[in-house]
Structure 1
Amino acid sequence: MKMIASAFNRAEEFILCFALLEMSVLAFVQVVMRYVFGTSLTWGEEVLRYQICFIAFFGADIGLRYGAHIKTEVINLFLPDRLKPLMNAFVFMAVFAFSSAIVYFGMTLVLKVAASGQLTAATRIPKFWIYLPMPIGGFFMAVRSASYVVREVRKFCSKADLQLSPS
């Protein structure tokens, strides 16, 4: 299972790195074309906006993995060591609830836009593809936060067992 998670993590980081690289190249080309040649790609700005959304929703999962999101660190400073895993589990349950809401409402939006048949202005691709990273990124965050809840509860249980066992 750890091997699958590791492969998924590497793939996720590779895709996001590639997306950032592609975005940087496209932005550079847009600037050069606009200020040197006096024209620009008609679809460039639209694709850049969509890439920002893609990176934000998929990058949120990587931020969760590295602990880069805001959390209740101040409360952990005052808690005894054995209760810290419970507080962390509570935080990850809140992240799971939020991520699940993103999945639900994001999927609702994707289905409504798909049913309407809307196309993007410059690239003329179905607009539901633009909204699809929202529920997918939310799903990845929900799965990761659920696994972190399990990890923190196991930590708490193992610390509780250590304290209950006779010395």
Structure 2
Amino acid sequence: MTQTAQTTWLDRVVEVVCVAVLAAATAAIFVILCANTILRYLTGSSLSWGNEVPELLFPWLVMAGIVLAARRGAHIATDFMVLILPARALRAVRVVVWLAVAGLHLTLAVATLQLLPIVHDERSPILRVPGSWTYGCVMVGLSLLAVLALQSAWQSFGTSARTNPQHAQEAS
């Protein structure tokens, strides 16, 4: 969740996977929507599944973007209050906050996992894709966010108390 001067193997894996999902989903959605538009214009009809596939891919695109933004430290953070704390307290607050964030993401991931069998029976109208496909992306994304938050807690614990991990790369 932080961008540090030293990128870990986890950062690299998350980055590659998220960028790949974003690129594939965006390209597929673009091609399908363009093909459908051209077909409607030329023939007056379109692919029967042409609207369904983008609807199935869009949640994956969004969740990959959320995880990638978290990995890059691009989400909005309000930290002006904690920056006035003494150095040791600041480090402790950062670690506790990251652990709380990880716990919340993990709790939501487990709750989503418990919903998968229920929504698996729901099928998309044309392709018959189970509802667990879209819920699965939420579970995967929340799990990745929890892992990244744990990594940030570890990095916050090990960094200088006054170093702001989200701006460490800019300083180097």
For this structure pair, what is the TM-score category when the shorter chain's length is used for normalisation? 0.7 to 0.9
Q: Which residue of 2 aligns with 1:143?
A: 147
TM-score, structure 2 normalization: 0.76
Structure with more relative contact order (C-alpha pairs < 8 Å, separation 6 or more): 2
TM-score, structure 1 normalization: 0.78
Question: How far apart in 2 are the matches of 1:138 and 1:76?
Answer: 26
The one-letter code sitting in structure 2 at the alignment partner of 1:146 is: L
3-state DSSP of counterpart to 1:73: coil
The C-alpha deviation readout for 1:86-107, integer Å capped at 9, x for no partner, is: 4443442343133113202211
Q: Which residue of 1 aligns with 2:59?
A: 53
Q: Which residue of 2 aligns with 1:112?
A: 118
- 1:23-38 equivalences under 5 Å are 23-38=29-44
The one-letter code sitting in structure 2 at the alignment partner of 1:55 is: L
Superposed displacement of residue 34, structure 1: 2.5
Deviates more, 1:73-82 or 1:2-11: 73-82
Question: How far apart in 2 are the matches of 1:25 and 1:11?
Answer: 21
Q: Could you say if the C-alpha distance between residues 22 and 84 of structure 1 is closer, same or farther in structure 2, counting changes exceeding 3 Å?
A: farther
Aligned-residue RMSD, C-alpha: 2.7
Structure 2: where are the runs of 5+ without partners?
Answer: 1-6, 164-172
Higher helix share: 1
- The number of aligned residues is 157
Q: Could you say if the C-alpha distance between residues 92 and 10 of structure 1 is closer, same or farther in structure 2, counting changes exceeding 3 Å?
A: same
Question: How far apart in 1 are the matches of 2:32 and 2:89?
Answer: 49
Q: Could you say if the C-alpha distance between residues 76 and 40 of structure 1 is closer, same or farther in structure 2, counting changes exceeding 3 Å?
A: farther
Deviates more, 1:73-82 or 1:99-108: 73-82
Identity, % of aligned positions: 22
Report the structure number with the largest CA radius of gyration. Answer: 1
Structure 1: where are the runs of 5+ without partners?
Answer: 160-167
